[in-house]
Amino acid sequence: MVFSSNVFLFLFLPLFLAVYYLVPNRARLRNVVVLVASYAFYAWWRVDFLLLFAAVTAFNYAIGQQIARHGAQTPGALRWLKLGVVVDLAVLGYFKYTNFGIETFNGLVANVGIAPFTWTHVLLPIGISFYVFESISYIMDVYRGDAEATRHPLDFATFVSLFPHLIVGPIFRYKDLAGQFEHRTHSVALFGQGAVRFMQGFLKKVLIADTLAPLANHCFSMADPSTADAWLGAITYGTQLYFDFAGYTDMAIGLGLMMGFRFPENFKRPFLSQSNTEFWRRWHISLSNWLRDYVFFALGGSRGSESRTYVNVFMTFFLGGIWHGANWTYVCWGALQGSLIFVERTQGVTGYVKTFRWRRWLPTFVCIMVSMVIFRADSVADAWRLYQAMFLLQHVGGFTDVLLGAATHLQLTVLVIAWCLVLIEGLREFGPKWSFGSPALRSTAAVWLLVPAFVLTILKLSAQGYSAFLYFQF
């Protein structure tokens, strides 16, 4: 089940909200409703993997209790922390990387005439990367003394399973939401804000991301793309990925507000970035912060020599690339990101800017789109084919195929509209501060525009069927 599906919009969500608000307004009673709904949401995909999900939750709750019993940063607590992290990573590693590891091994031994190893293909449980990372952050925070171990297993189970972010993130930390499991505010105004935010995300996903998907897929599947085709494919996919993932985040935040939860933002106009360092302060913020707090600092952060700090920076992003998936493309993508941040750090780039400069933005934009190719490609060879077209100037004369029939007028129009929205976001941050009418008037106008667009989008969804969010595969 996904947010952009009729079964979610017209069955699951109305039923959940009806039960949620019929239950007496006591946080823990409503937590039970959230927990049951979240488990049902997850089980809709596969019931058997719900057992794994519940087992990981129970295990990390128990580890947190043992760490708290020994006391923060004590030798006994450290032993329990190591056990928790090792088991969590082992679970993630088995389900996410077993197929990749065996396929790589078989490819190597085949070259020397050894029979390949046979195995049963391991199915990847959806959301496992996110709920394992959240569990690790919880036990590490308890060990560091940054968070108290919860005495209520229901609260922890509800935190891990919250269906608005369960499958694709953002990656939450228990310490940031702990108080909301004990008390949270509900109001018509807050519910309305959530509904508006949900509709905004729904439009981003269905109208923009899903419309651009066929064009991006076509460009990446071309056997002999021109330079223009390759760059159009990279830009289209980058746009699709942003509006797909940011759309999901908007819907997650909106659903949270409907339930009285306030979730942190996960995107902050990333295509306005003027360095790759700044890009990672704006893109998938929850993952960037997680990698900083639980990988970079764990490796030693900036406490060692300057060269050691650079190595830690590179390794953090390299491991972040591997986290995204079991494919050599993600290994290369992680190494590329680590190298870019490494170089910028040696040049003193901090990623904090107050003014917009084209000379800083343009090379950053090129780097972002170049990295999108290896991130999207099915293999390193496919990425290399696109890179050759992009930089060796193949068929510079024009678009060999895309604009001559593969791309529809609707797709190209939506691509232009998407970048107009990015431009508007840029003007809001770096341009003159204009204000049209009162906040109440702007809100009313937004609702009157959103509701008809939302209805039309539902009709489009019903006609085409739903498509999974891109980050489901991670």
Q: What is the full DSSP assignment across 144-185?
A: HTSSPPPS-HHHHHHHHH-TTTTTT-----HHHHHHHHH---
Q: What is the mean pLDDT of residues 156-180?
A: 88
CA 145 distance to own-chain centroid: 27
Q: What is the mean pLDDT of the chain?
A: 87
Q: What is the pLDDT of residues 313-371, one digit of tens each?
A: 889 989 888 888 888 999 999 999 999 998 888 888 887 888 888 899 999 999 999 99
pLDDT range class, residue 259, cuts 50, 70, 90: very high
In 3D space, the residue among 211, 243, 203, 234 whose CA is nearest the CA of residue 422 turns out to be: 243
Q: What is the mean pLDDT of residues 122-131?
A: 88
Measured on CA atoms in the order 121, 126, 129, 133, is the torsion positive or negative? negative
Predicted local confidence at residue 399, as pLDDT: 56
Q: What is the mean pLDDT of residues 411-416?
A: 90
> Going by C-beta distance under 8 Å and a sequence separation of 6 or more, which residues neighbour residue 179?
none
Predicted local confidence at residue 435, as pLDDT: 60
Predicted local confidence at residue 167, as pLDDT: 80
pLDDT range class, residue 442, cuts 50, 70, 90: low
Distance CA 178, CA 168 (A): 21
Helix 328-346, helix 380-391: angle, nearest 10: 50
pLDDT range class, residue 280, cuts 50, 70, 90: very high
Compute how many other C-beta atoms are within 10 angstroms of the C-beta atom of residue 424. Answer: 10
Is residue 195 helix, strand or coil?
Answer: helix
Percent of the chain beyond pLDDT 70? 92
pLDDT at 444 over 90: no
* 444-471: burial string, b at 16+ Cβ within 10 Å, e else: eeeeeebeeebeebbeebeeeebbebbb
What is the chain's alpha carbon radius of gyration, rounded to the nearest angstrom?
23
Lowest mean pLDDT among 139-143, 256-260, 284-288, 396-400: 396-400
pLDDT range class, residue 226, cuts 50, 70, 90: confident
Lowest mean pLDDT among 123-137, 389-403, 454-468: 389-403
Q: What is the mean pLDDT of residues 195-211?
A: 91
pLDDT at 202 over 60: yes
pLDDT at 415 over 90: yes
Predicted local confidence at residue 465, as pLDDT: 65
Predicted local confidence at residue 352, as pLDDT: 83
Predicted local confidence at residue 107, as pLDDT: 78
| Domain assignments of the chain as residue spans, ordered by start | 26-185, 190-473
CA dihedral 154, 155, 160, 164 (to 10 degrees): 110
In 3D space, the residue among 294, 287, 316 whose CA is nearest the CA of residue 85 turns out to be: 294
Q: What is the largest CA-CA distance in the chain?
A: 74
Alpha-helical runs (H) found in 167-296? 174-182, 188-203, 210-221, 227-258, 276-282, 285-291
Predicted local confidence at residue 135, as pLDDT: 95
Distance CA 268, CA 114 (A): 51
What's the DSSP call for residue 272? G
Measured on CA atoms in the order 23, 26, 29, 33, is the torsion positive or negative? positive
pLDDT range class, residue 89, cuts 50, 70, 90: very high
Predicted local confidence at residue 406, as pLDDT: 64
- The token pair at 103 is 């396929």
Query: What single letter denotes the amino acid at residue 256?
Result: G
pLDDT at 75 over 60: yes
Distance CA 197, CA 191 (A): 10
Predicted local confidence at residue 438, as pLDDT: 57
Compute how many other C-beta atoms are within 10 angstroms of the C-beta atom of residue 81. Answer: 22
Q: Among 70, 183, 324, 409, which one carries the catalytic annotation?
A: 324
The answer to whether 146 and 68 are in contact (CB under 8 A) is no
pLDDT at 211 over 60: yes
Give catalytic status of residue 186 as yes or no. no
Predicted local confidence at residue 466, as pLDDT: 59
Q: What is the mean pLDDT of residues 37-43?
A: 93
Distance CA 286, CA 280 (A): 10
- Length of the chain, in residues: 474
Q: Terminal CA-to-CA distance of the chain, rounded, Å?
A: 16
What's the DSSP call for residue 396? T
Q: What is the mean pLDDT of residues 409-415?
A: 87
Distance CA 163, CA 306 (A): 42
Predicted local confidence at residue 441, as pLDDT: 58
Predicted local confidence at residue 398, as pLDDT: 57
Predicted local confidence at residue 25, as pLDDT: 86
pLDDT range class, residue 462, cuts 50, 70, 90: confident
pLDDT range class, residue 104, cuts 50, 70, 90: confident
SS3 content of the chain, % helix, strand, coil (to 5): 70, 0, 30
- The token pair at 77 is 């607590």
Predicted local confidence at residue 255, as pLDDT: 94
pLDDT range class, residue 273, cuts 50, 70, 90: very high
Predicted local confidence at residue 304, as pLDDT: 77
